[in-house]
Structure 1
Amino acid sequence: MCYRPAVPTPPSVADELKSLRIERTAKQRSLPSWAPPAIGVAAVAVVLFVAWKLLAPRVFVPEVETTAVALVSPAQAQQLLVATGYVVPQRQANISPRIGGRVAKLFVEDGTVVKKGQLIAVLEDQDYRAQVVQAEADARSAEARERRAQVEVRDAQRAFDREKTVQEKGVSTPAALDQVTARLDGSKAALSAARGDSASARARVEVAKVNLENCYVRAPFDGRITQKLTDIGEIVFGALSAGTGGRGGIASLADFSTLQVEADVSESQVAKLKIGTPAEIVLDAFPDRRYRGKVAEVRPRVDRAKATVTVKVGFVDDPADVLPDMGAKVTFLAKELDEAAAKAQPIRAVQADAVVERGETKVVWVVDPQDQLRSVPVITGAPMGGLVALRDGPPPGTKVVRRPDGDLRTGMKVKEKQ
């Protein structure tokens, strides 16, 4: 029997088609173990980067100390110290009548300028006029009694003289002499009493006239009425009145030639001052005016509550338009200013440590309203104490950086030190 090798069976058409089929389910692939932590770190880094961009300009900005360009007068170059106070007249009074009464006439208003002795007001004076008339009548009656007493003394003296003559001739009795002597002594005593009554009556006339004159209220010194305290028809009481059922005065009077500024100076600084120390006075009401002044008095008393000493500064220049109780700033000076320097216009100045050199140019670092920096070239003038004058540069009121360092850049955002 002949052996034949097996012949493989050819694949069928169905098997061939099955081999060509594409699998629809893909195999799942897993991520490496280091991928999730790396993704988390990257996400955190992105968040931190965004937060830095948003918050760094607001939180992590350099702090700088700033000052402002100011208008400075020549006096500030000689400045010792500065104090504030108020204008006070050194001679002032509330004018009151010496007696109480109802105001019949009033001749002043607020601001009226008066001279010493000028009539300011009149009180109702009918009662006092009647008292004068009565006192004068009493005085005349007393003078008549005095004259009668004088007549009696003369008559008694003649009787005494006759009796003495008779006694010398021996034709009278001692009793008659005693009688005329007693009459003479009695008449002399009566004359002394009459003279006393007459003097008392004349004194009462003077008192009545003084009371009448007290109804006429006059200015005690030259000055200006600062406040009218009463009106016609109101009752005022005076220094000699027993009751207080009315107002306490007619008007307030101040001598404007004695105006001074009373400033409070720290007790630690008052040793720098003495009588005659020059000063410059600037009133809050007239900030564009400057008055020369001098220390007139350093009050020898310390206010323990405020730790200050009151210093009175008198005006050297005419205090035109200055009124009592105006607020004032006093700059005490190391050197007195002449009239030209006192009237010189203020100039721009800035703290000397705000000016830095940038190459061959001097600049200041200006802080704009958005708290960003920019450098501005300046031309400086003469030094003025701790300041330096600016002949050219930013306008007054501009904020600039003090003691700027080399890390500042234009456009950099900064924050002011509090």
Structure 2
Amino acid sequence: MRILSYISMSLALLWACSDAKSPEENTASEVANISNSVTLSNEQIQAINIRTARIQQRNLNNVIKANGYVDVPPQNNAVISPLIPGYVRKVNFLVGDNVKKGQVMAELESMEFIDIQQQFAEQNAREGYLREEYERQKLLSAKDAVSKKTFLKSEVEYRTTVSTVAALKSKLALLGVNIDELSNGAVASRYLLRAPMAGSVSKMETMIGKYIDPSEEIFEIVDTKHMHLELQVYEQDAGKVAKGQKVWFKVPSKADSIYEGEVFLVGKDLSESKRSINVHVHIHGDESRFTVGMYANATIVTQENPSNTLPVTAVVTEGGHNYVFKKESGTAGEALFAKVPVITGMESDGLVELRSMEGLDENDEIVVNGAFYLINAFAGSE
């Protein structure tokens, strides 16, 4: 307010000095209202810091504001938990480390693991014996040398054991055990937790000696090759969003940078609690600049409108009508500014649309700073 008062006082002082000149000088330099125009001396122009610019054609966009976060597809995120309980004996990776698919993340020691191997060894050996017994009983049964009941009993025992061995093999395969080594009598006390995919470790919650059961998550791995935005768009704007629309967004950690993306998928289900839909946005450029979970402020461009524009500071209102000031030629040491009525439209990013160019030309110099003082000077000279 002090700055405005100072400029107003300076402007008034300049006008007062102008009035103290001779009648001939006053004719050349006083503020005058001649056919909807204002004439100012160079001193007055400098005092109120008048600046001009030309009308520019820009895209004033219809946009939707949305918030969301950086995410990856479900197939690019993995949680690692033990299949059976055990004590952590070794941890090979920390948060932020890159891992390859199949690398050993941790080693767990488990009595249950030992028991499964023992059961397999016993049942595998028993299967061989029962197979021979079953084949023998089958031959005897064919010659009616044994009762059918005896043959059926040997068949049931054999097939049950085959099924048990197959189940134990599957369990051991999931635990990463080499069946051939186990068949040779080698029993391990530790089993290995391996990375199911390549990526970076985003979470690690364990320590040496901790007892872990299958319900606990030890690691999380994220593959950041296909990061995207998940935006929430409220239901009143949901019908305006479509695949292929341009998206501009910012993230808090890089607030001075604007990034670009494109709408790829538009959700069809409306969240009852948030009254919004999900919008999936593909990020253009280097995705490694971002971190999964980052908050994002986004602008979805639903329509681009080529428009004749000026900065919003160029337009002033008087008597319910909008005006701009066009600089015209004046005499030496002066400039004449014509007040031109305009019809304005949408505003975006500090620009305002001129819906009518009547009385204006694209080469005209329009006041973009100081129009407020000109409208006051014009009113005072009437």
Counterpart in the other structure of 1:253: 221
Q: What displacement does 1:306 show?
A: 4.8
For 1:84, give the aligned amino acid.
N
| Residue of structure 2 aligned with 1:233, choices 186, 209, 212 | 209
Counterpart in the other structure of 2:158: 195
Counterpart in the other structure of 1:85: 68
Contact map agreement 1:102 1:234 (CA 8 A) in 2: yes
Indicate the percent of aligned positions where both proteins have the same amino acid.
22
CA deviations on 1:109-168 (whole Å, 9 max, x unpaired) are 1112233333322221454134313421232123213313433544565xx4xxxxxxxx
In structure 1, how many angstroms separate the alpha carbons of the residues matched to 2:272 and 2:168? 54
Counterpart in the other structure of 2:296: 328
RMSD: 3.9
User: How many residues are matched?
Assistant: 266
Normalised TM-score (structure 2): 0.57
Contact map agreement 1:295 1:311 (CA 8 A) in 2: yes
In structure 2, how many angstroms separate the alpha carbons of the residues matched to 1:224 and 1:388? 44
CA pair 308-211 structure 1, distance change in 2 beyond 3 A: closer
In structure 1, how many angstroms separate the alpha carbons of the residues matched to 2:245 and 2:201? 32
In structure 1, how many angstroms separate the alpha carbons of the residues matched to 2:370 and 2:237? 29
For 2:155, give the aligned amino acid.
S
Structure 1 residues 312-391: aligned runs within 5 Å: 312-334=280-302, 353=315, 356-357=324-325, 359-360=327-328, 386=348, 387-388=350-351
Higher strand share: 2
Q: What displacement does 1:254 show?
A: 2.2
Q: What displacement does 1:312 show?
A: 2.4
Structure 1 residues 6-405: aligned runs within 5 Å: 77-78=60-61, 80-91=63-74, 92-154=77-139, 160=143, 181=144, 183=146, 185=148, 188-203=151-166, 205-206=168-169, 209-210=172-173, 212-213=175-176, 215-239=191-215, 248-304=216-272, 306-334=274-302, 353=315, 356-357=324-325, 359-360=327-328, 386=348, 387-388=350-351
Contact map agreement 1:75 1:333 (CA 8 A) in 2: no
In structure 1, how many angstroms separate the alpha carbons of the residues matched to 2:236 and 2:370? 30
CA pair 82-75 structure 1, distance change in 2 beyond 3 A: farther
Structure 1: stretches of 5+ with no match in the other structure: 1-56, 58-73, 161-180, 240-247, 337-347, 362-382, 390-398, 410-418
Contact map agreement 2:63 2:303 (CA 8 A) in 1: no
Contact map agreement 1:136 1:205 (CA 8 A) in 2: no
Contact map agreement 2:267 2:278 (CA 8 A) in 1: yes
In structure 2, how many angstroms separate the alpha carbons of the residues matched to 1:323 and 1:86? 10
CA pair 303-186 structure 1, distance change in 2 beyond 3 A: closer
Q: What displacement does 1:281 show?
A: 2.3
Q: What displacement does 1:108 show?
A: 1.8
In structure 2, how many angstroms separate the alpha carbons of the residues matched to 1:400 and 1:82? 29
CA deviations on 1:180-210 (whole Å, 9 max, x unpaired) are x362635533442342244144235325524
Contact map agreement 1:143 1:194 (CA 8 A) in 2: no
Structure 2: stretches of 5+ with no match in the other structure: 6-56, 178-190, 305-309, 317-322, 330-344, 353-367
Counterpart in the other structure of 1:171: none
Contact map agreement 1:283 1:328 (CA 8 A) in 2: yes
CA deviations on 1:216-253 (whole Å, 9 max, x unpaired) are 323333332212122222122215xxxxxxxx211222
CA pair 153-134 structure 1, distance change in 2 beyond 3 A: same
**Per the alignment, in what secondary structure is the counterpart of residue 310 of structure 1?**
strand
For 2:315, give the aligned amino acid.
D
CA pair 211-81 structure 1, distance change in 2 beyond 3 A: closer
CA pair 185-85 structure 1, distance change in 2 beyond 3 A: closer
Q: What displacement does 1:261 show?
A: 1.8
For 1:353, give the aligned amino acid.
V
For 2:72, give the aligned amino acid.
P
Q: What displacement does 1:284 show?
A: 1.9
1:407 aligns with 2:370: no
**Per the alignment, in what secondary structure is the counterpart of residue 311 of structure 1?**
strand
For 1:270, give the aligned amino acid.
A
Contact map agreement 1:263 1:310 (CA 8 A) in 2: yes
In structure 2, how many angstroms separate the alpha carbons of the residues matched to 1:268 and 1:118? 48
**Per the alignment, in what secondary structure is the counterpart of residue 90 of structure 2?**
strand
**Per the alignment, in what secondary structure is the counterpart of residue 301 of structure 1?**
coil
Pair member with larger Rg: 1
In structure 1, how many angstroms separate the alpha carbons of the residues matched to 2:276 and 2:372? 33
Normalised TM-score (structure 1): 0.53
Contact map agreement 1:76 1:331 (CA 8 A) in 2: no
